[in-house]
Amino acid sequence: MRDQRTVRCTYYIESAKPPADAAAVMAGEQSSGTFVPVPGESPRIRERHAAHVVEVRELERRSPSLPSRSRPEQVRAANVTIDIPMENIGTDLATLWTTIAGNLFELGELHACRLNRLELPDDFVAAHPGPAFGIKGTRRLIGDAAGALIGTIVKPNIGLSEPEFRQVVRELARASIDLVKDDELMTDQAHLPLERRIAVATEEIRAAEQVTGHPTMYAFNITGDLAGLRRRHDMVVEAGGRCVMLNVPVMGLQALEWLRSFSEVPIHGHRAGLAASMRADGLGVDYGVWQQLARLAGADQLHVSGLRSKFYERDEEVAGNIRGLLAPLGATTPVLPVLSSGQNVTTPAPTFSAVASTDLLMLAGGGVAAHPGGPAAGVRSLRDAWAAATEGVALADAAERRARAGDDALLRAVEKFGQGAG
């Protein structure tokens, strides 16, 4: 058991210095934060508040990953683990983030600095409520929907008139889809204000439920100014909406935490912009670190790219991130991983094979809207593809079987999107 009074961080670093010395600089920057000894830095303070380097694993030498003031030909790479006294941080997320992911990235003598692993003390985790709804609460609000949930994004995301938007939502809700979400670019633009989107979508969803019996959830993007965040949330709730969406990296983890403190509905956490501090080798923060904080801050549903997506992460990375999301985090309610980008009937099989779970929300854009038989056929084709994946039936076989039974939705989707690579 490690010391539960410290926050443990593992960084990948590069430096011209010996790695142990570079790690010592980082530990200093994260606790006492100065290089010129100053009066008042007493033994008592060092004893109680200093961060400690607990492990240095040197790797081979390489050329620098990041630009700096100095330009060494070769640097020494290492994974270093540092323990920071929890007393320095308390339980505040912003203070934690400043400490573990603040000035460190700027240090000129580091030619790479990436936070790859974060182990929080139990007391830190326990100080945060985590998701209020999570997987269970989301399913409950969608009529106790079981299995992988099928969702989609309103497209085109910019420029729909109100009648056009109404038509899109009507078709999707009548297709018995589990969730419809705003695109991350849809906020409160004048050509289709959030207030009208809420009114129209909740109206169409209620009407569709009378026919289908299935209560589609709509994630309304309430990203925007903080002064209006609560008002926008309240608009959703008062109209009978059952989900709000936040672009978390744009708004910040504190905005998510604050929304969690008053939200009466699940929070759909988008990750637009996260890659800016995640994608470079040797810089920023790994998804596995960020997702812990997003969960503590209270996201009920959290984006994680998707296998076979148009985004950069390779399938094994995405699968690892999904497994990370599904792993326990203290006593918090499990969060619902949201798969997006390039999702269609070919993706359930590799996804289920990689993560062995259907506690997922799969967002299919073209896979729903561009299905030749229309959105309802698109939704059916995706549910059939998930059934095939969990039963271990090949997609082509499942498509033929369903077609023989009178529903060619999967067959036509397979014709359009292919059978997938594996």
Q: Which residue has the tokens 């918090």?
A: 332
Distance in Å, CB of 173 to its own copies, minimum: 16
95 binds its own copies (CB under 8 A): yes
Instruction: Considering only the stretches 137-145, 281-289, 380-388, 395-403, report the one whose residues sit in contact with its own copies under the rule CB under 8 A.
Output: 281-289
Quick one: which of 37, 213, 328, 392 contacts its own copies (CB under 8 A)? Answer: 37
Question: Which of 5, 20, 33, 415 touches its own copies by CB under 8 A?
Answer: 33
Among 309, 357, 358, 419, binds its own copies (CB under 8 A): 309
Q: Does 143 bind its own copies (CB under 8 A)?
A: no
Sheet holding 75-85, edge to edge: 52-62, 75-85, 6-15, 112-119, 283-285
Tokens representing 204 are 């169409």
Give the torsion sign (CA, 111, 117, 121, 127): positive
- Length of the chain in terms of residues written: 422
- 217 vs 141: CA distance, rounded Å: 7
Nearer to its own copies, 105 or 136 (CB): 105
Please give the Cα distance from 277 to 279 (Å, whole number). Answer: 6
**81 lies in the binding site for its own copies (CB under 8 A):** no
> Which one among 207, 250, 354, 403 touches its own copies, defined by CB under 8 A?
250
DSSP state for residue 141 in the 8-state scheme:
H
Q: Whole-number minimum distance, CB 208 to its own copies, in Å?
A: 18
Question: Using an 8 Å Cβ cutoff, are 351 and 390 in contact?
Answer: no
In the complex, minimum distance from the CB of residue 160 to its own copies, in angstroms, rounded to a whole number: 7
Q: How far is the CB of 364 from its own copies (least distance, A)?
A: 10
Q: Does residue number 314 form part of the binding site for its own copies (CB under 8 A)?
A: yes
Binding to its own copies (CB under 8 A) within 333-372 occurs at 341, 365-366, 369-370
- Residue 386's region, left for phi above 0, alpha for psi from -120 to 50, else beta, is alpha
Of 347, 257, 331, 319, the closest CA to residue 293 belongs to: 257
Residue 115 beta carbon to its own copies: minimum distance, rounded to whole angstroms: 9
Question: Angle CA(337)–CA(302)–CA(336) in degrees, nearest 5?
Answer: 40
> Any contact of residue 163 with its own copies (CB under 8 A)?
no
123 binds its own copies (CB under 8 A): no
Task: Name residues contacting its own copies, limited to 220-249 (CB under 8 A).
Answer: 223-227, 247
Cα–Cα distance for residue pair 71/65, rounded to 1 Å? 11
* Candidate residues 83, 184, 204, 408; the one interacting with its own copies per rule CB under 8 A: 184
Of 116 and 157, nearer to its own copies (C-beta) is 157
User: Alpha-carbon distance 260 to 254, whole Å?
Assistant: 10
Establish if 54 lies at the interface with its own copies (CB under 8 A): no
Q: Helices marked H in 120-223 — which ranges?
A: 122-126, 134-141, 162-174, 194-212
Closest CB 257 distance from its own copies, rounded Å: 6
CB closer to its own copies out of 59 and 158: 158
